[in-house]
């Protein structure tokens, strides 16, 4: 039994879920800094846990295959969300499942596939930013049903620092990229300039 059933719906909105874009941006800057394909791969993998759980529900709603959950008065009871979303959420939001896949891919490729770690980061970020009120993170599934009763994502104390830190991280990233591009361009020319005449 989840404590959401004990607490009942809280006066929050759907937006209190960690916004999916932030997940992608954090994953990309943490594990996709090598080049552009790596960046976008880590970005998409950072979105994947939500895309392959709630994203499927929203797609089903879009195509008229499922009823739209009623978020108009805050988060609905978890029991109103189709059971397949719960199952998918368990799989996609388990750090245990992530680690097994990460290690398996590492074994198969003979090297770590770092962009995949964006998935693990998504799960770890979700742990403190979801409360028992609605889809707390099943971080230890299937070994344990323990879930941390965190703080809702849209709480200003979490939301604002997230955007500030994200902005600072991207400012650092973009500045460093520009500096690297400048220094590599400058590094080529002096070499050419300093090369003894043939
Ligand atoms: Zn998530």
3-class SS at 112?
coil
Mean pLDDT of 68-90: 89
pLDDT tens-digit series, residues 44-65: 999 999 999 999 999 999 999 9
Asked if 39 contacts 33 with a C-beta cutoff of 8 angstroms, the reply is yes
Asked if 28 contacts 87 with a C-beta cutoff of 8 angstroms, the reply is no
CA of 37 to the centre of ligand 1 (A): 23
CA of 57 to the centre of ligand 1 (A): 14
CA of 21 to the centre of ligand 1 (A): 11
* Strand locations in the chain (E): none
CA of 124 to the centre of ligand 1 (A): 9
CA of 188 to the centre of ligand 1 (A): 44
The predicted model scores a pTM of 0.82
Mean pLDDT of 116-138: 95
Look at residue 2 in the predicted model and tell me its pLDDT: 35
Q: How far apart are CA 66 and CA 68, in angstroms?
A: 6
pLDDT tens-digit series, residues 162-194: 999 999 999 999 999 888 888 877 765 544 444
3-class SS at 74?
strand
Q: Which residues of 47-65 are buried (b: 16+ CB within 10 A; e: fewer)?
A: bbbbbebbbbbeebeeeee
Look at residue 64 in the predicted model and tell me its pLDDT: 93
Structure tokens at 174: 């973009």
Structure tokens at 79: 């029991």
CA of 8 to the centre of ligand 1 (A): 21
Computed on alpha carbons and rounded to an integer, the radius of gyration of the chain in Å comes to 21
CA of 103 to the centre of ligand 1 (A): 21
Structure tokens at 114: 């770092």
Asked if 10 contacts 133 with a C-beta cutoff of 8 angstroms, the reply is yes
Q: How far apart are CA 11 and CA 163, in angstroms?
A: 23
Look at residue 29 in the predicted model and tell me its pLDDT: 97
CA of 173 to the centre of ligand 1 (A): 24
3-class SS at 72?
strand
């Amino acid at each position: 039994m989840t404590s959401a059933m004990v607490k009942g719906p809280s006066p929050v909105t759907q937006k209190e879920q960690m916004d999916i874009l932030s997940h992608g941006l954090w994953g990309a800057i943490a594990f996709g800094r090598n080049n552009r394909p790596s960046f976008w791969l880590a970005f998409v993998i950072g979105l994947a846990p939500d895309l392959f759980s709630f994203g499927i529900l929203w797609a089903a709603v879009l195509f008229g295959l499922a009823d739209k959950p009623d978020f108009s008065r805050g988060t609905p009871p978890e029991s109103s969300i189709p059971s397949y979303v719960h199952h998918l959420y368990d799989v996609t939001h388990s750090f245990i499942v992530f680690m097994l896949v990460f290690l398996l891919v590492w074994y198969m490729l003979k090297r770590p596939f770092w962009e995949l770690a964006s998935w693990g980061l998504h799960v770890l970020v979700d742990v403190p930013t979801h409360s028992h009120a609605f889809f707390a993170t099943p971080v230890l599934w299937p070994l344990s049903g323990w879930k941390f009763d965190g703080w809702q994502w849209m709480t200003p104390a979490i939301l604002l620092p997230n955007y500030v830190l994200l902005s600072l991280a991207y400012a650092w990233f973009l500045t460093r990229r520009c500096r690297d591009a400048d220094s590599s361009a400058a590094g080529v020319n002096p070499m050419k300039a300093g090369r003894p005449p043939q």
